[in-house]
Amino acid sequence: MVRHVVMLRLKDGPTPQHVAAVADGLGRMPGLIPELVSYHLGTDLGLAPTNFDFAVVAELQSADGFLAYRDHPEHQAVIRDVILPLVAERVAVQFEC
């Protein structure tokens, strides 16, 4: 199993509209991409001032499953149309578990 973790910092901070746009866009992925075993996302709770604004934790059966998710046209459309215009910084890690 591969765990894929992403954190985003939004350009204008975690405004409700921008957070909702990212959450709504990515939240459609589990219904569209069968390689996703589990998919959790959410807005930072504000417990530390240096935190990023948003995180995604996805589980996939394999590295090939991750690549299928990454490159899926619906995912790429959300990245292009919703995420890239709103995001200042993105960090990611994929690890076996």
Residues in contact with its own copies by CB under 8 A are 2-3, 5, 7, 40-45, 47-48, 50-55, 57, 63, 66-67, 91-97
Give yes or no for a contact between 67 and 4, defined as CB atoms under 8 angstroms apart.
no
Q: Where are the beta strands (DSSP E) in the chain?
A: 2-10, 36-43, 54-60, 87-96
Give yes or no for a contact between 25 and 12, defined as CB atoms under 8 angstroms apart.
no
Question: Is 69 exposed, middle or buried (CB count within 10 Å of its CB: 0-12, 13-18, 19+)?
Answer: buried
For its own copies, the closer of residues 44 and 74 by Cβ is: 44
For its own copies, the closer of residues 5 and 77 by Cβ is: 5
For its own copies, the closer of residues 10 and 78 by Cβ is: 10
